[in-house]
Structure 1
């Protein structure tokens, strides 16, 4: 019995934000009905595959039921209304206006089920001049200013490795839905959530937005402490063309490392503002270039310094720490990452992801 046992979720979303949100609910015992078109969630076709299923699809849809409905047909609409009658949560990720045209907007759904929590996830929200603008994660990151600080040494933005606005929207939608369910316990009434990827991502720049939000200059990677302007929050190349990072703000770590390297004369530079530490950055670049990544990892083992080697994803999953925490599991048809949310005294085992229409 999970924390959300007894909660019924109707999920019409595809790809990343909505499926991630409802997967986290399914992990905690919610009964999630994934409503798919005859073509299925496009994530089903995304490589690579393991055990006959897309690893992407399985990772975000484990523990759900799948039902195929043509929502343009009378029979499909009737079946969805049957599911809605006793549902607690309704999630959709279409462009604004689509659900109204199909007859399943919040006004219609809440009229049938006043206690339902209805969550719409979109790129830019249900209203405003951008509401109908097509966009996936990269475009919303660009418009939110995040891509401008996801840049290389020459200042050119690069495609980010994490779909941050997708994930931010999934987490925001989950949090809002759980809040609404708690509120329903007191009022008996459901609620409507307009969750935008763009809106969800903006607060994630809290540590760098200062001047920009107050009308000043935007942050620049070369001069901002958290973006690469500081020697001890920096990526360095090693002798084998791999990389390591120093990742801390506290001056005690600078003291510890420079002492170990016999260069405490450079410590005053670490105390300077970001953007004025070029001499120290240059020294550390020369220093890290003298050993391989793995040699530096061994060297730092007994040093109290916020240091890490840069691992690829295969290396990351192979770490003993991942095994010790039980974060990579086998089951449900293949390999899966365990939930980040786990409760003391409760066990979790991976459920399989449904085949298309398995619960028609």
Structure 2
């Protein structure tokens, strides 16, 4: 018995698992191609992807476009037939250039969150690249479908629903996340499936809904498949793999994290995030960390008022300076006990899901 494949138009992923984009530099060509080769969908994170380029500090936009193209090419060399995508934040300043670069490199899919990608269909017009917004409510899913349909006669090729237990930036307010009665992914996924139903019926276009945020094992994957999700997106599990593009110290921070170490933090982007409480976070709890260099990378960030530079913090973490870095994690990262190959992880998740589906 096999799992139902994830179909996005003519793209067919044999295993309905998308590896979530993790930036800066945590999911690049090595991880994405390994996941694609194992039958899932591999995602390169586009945020500050040019951090290894020599002119990154002086020519940030061009360095990122160049870095993105290089990683897509590398991933395609490593996985000639697998499904590869990029995750691009709407909040980045050179969003349009990055989308165009991904399309030029014939990326299979662009996943976009941290804001509503209202103009995305225009940027991929005439290409074979699929587009998928990330939403956190049925209302947002219906809004983006309505706007795209009205302005571009286009409906999303897939919608990713990210719940409150995800790592990185969250599409909820700090107040919502700290309430006793928190929003829960299960209810939101059902709400999004329902909200997209009229669009599917009126257009005859399938819009697969994918659940994301804190999903840890095959039992949970089965739970979402049973309510009509077409697949799941998982990031944290893939951070603790041999092929993950981050430094070994970054991966070890995941393995060593206890449940009480996983905390909500305020990000300069204006959204809450979930991270490991390390020396960097402890310093932040006492005072702001001065910004010595601004990359002008994110629209909502004001360096004069920001508590720290998120680019510097994320780059420090991925290159192994974990005490001075920000390590984004999903709520269930404390369950991780070892670093394993992607192939082994995928096999384990598929077997658990099959058993849970009975």
Shorter-normalised TM-score: what interval?
under 0.3
Q: State which structure, 1 or 2, has the greater radius of gyration over its C-alpha atoms.
A: 1
Report the TM-score when normalising by structure 1.
0.27
Report the TM-score when normalising by structure 2.
0.27
